[in-house]
Structure 1
Amino acid sequence: MPIIKIEPEINSGIKICFDLSRSIDLHKISTQQTNEQAISGKISGLIELNESVTWKAKHFGICQKLTSKITEFEKPNQFVDEMVSGIFKNFKHEHIFTNLSNRTLMTDIFAYESPLGVLGKLADKLFVKKYMTKLLEERNRVIKEYAESNQWKKILNEREYIILNL
């Protein structure tokens, strides 16, 4: 089972990073290249425990749908989303946040299994893992960009983030 681990440090508070990471609206922005759209379940705002979202997107030239559900949630330290249905055999995506004073270490662990047995494993080695890594890196780049600037205020309700609560 391939595992992708990305650990960006973000010059912003843990609560902002946590909430941007679970924002459906920011996810749409970070996946513009695949034109991802939330089509059912939680389609905007901040996703919570036991909520699900179905995404429609074009990957590898094929229009696909994928539904994931938040299965673990400990605000603002971690949450996990897992695939309910979609092209993968399964996946588990862990989002872990560590407070580093005025910075946040965001650990992103994506473990997945491709379908089609040996053919899926070959596809992982040839292109799927690289493709998924690029998608996750772009998502994390956008989270970092928004968190480190005032752009986060376009996504999150600024009143909830008083200076002591960042």
Structure 2
Amino acid sequence: MKLYKKESVQYVNASIEECWAFFSSPRNLQKITPETMGFQITDFDGKNMYAGQIIQYKVSPLLGIKLPWVTEITFVEENSYFIDEQRFGPYALWHHKHFFEPTENGVKMTDLVHYALPLGFLGRIMNTLVVKNKLKAIFEHREKMVNQLFNSK
């Protein structure tokens, strides 16, 4: 299984507490996800993130086909980082670390995703042709939305 990595860094014009309050609420994920993903939370307990939390979604990553995606929040350190891992979904592996570091002007937010695709050789071809570009577009959209929400003040 081939493991891929996607990293992004963004500076947010907000306090660490404001940044954490926004990103630790699963409800806000839809606000920063492209509409083309058809992202919809189908079940979660309504609480801010905590280790062991299960969140269920529907996503349409390709051709409008709805797929279930279940993630577990595996680690949380308030105002510092959290990790979500796919339990069921389109990836063979999805491990997403979200880091938040206070800076002089706000917060440095770093995302580090490790992922793998199913289907061996076909998955590697899909990554080259589709998946890595789709992830790039998702993170670019997220950066734009975070800028609108926090950095345009």
**Shift of residue 36 of structure 1?**
1.0
Q: Which residue of 60, 68, 71 corresponds with 1:68?
A: 71
**TM-score after normalising by structure 2:** 0.88
Whole-Å separation in 1 of the counterparts to 2:10 and 2:126: 27
Q: How many residues align?
A: 149
**Shift of residue 90 of structure 1?**
1.0
Whether the 8 Å CA contact 1:27–1:139 is kept in 2: the answer is: no
Q: RMSD of the TM alignment (CA)?
A: 1.7
Q: Which residue of 13, 17, 22 corresponds with 1:15?
A: 17
Aligned partner of 1:5: which letter? Answer: E
Q: Which residue of 115, 119, 125 corresponds with 1:116?
A: 119
Aligned partner of 1:73: which letter? Answer: V
**TM-score after normalising by structure 1:** 0.82
Taking a change above 3 Å as real, the CA distance of residues 60 and 35 of structure 1, as seen in their structure-2 partners, is same
Whole-Å separation in 1 of the counterparts to 2:144 and 2:27: 15
Whole-Å separation in 2 of the counterparts to 1:49 and 1:142: 26
- Unaligned residue ranges in structure 2 (runs of 5+): none
Overall identity of the aligned pairs, in % = 23
**Shift of residue 57 of structure 1?**
1.8
Name the residue aligned to 1:137.
140
Comparing 63-72 and 128-137, the one that deviates more = 128-137
Q: Which residue of 58, 61, 64 corresponds with 2:60?
A: 58
- Unaligned residue ranges in structure 1 (runs of 5+): 151-166
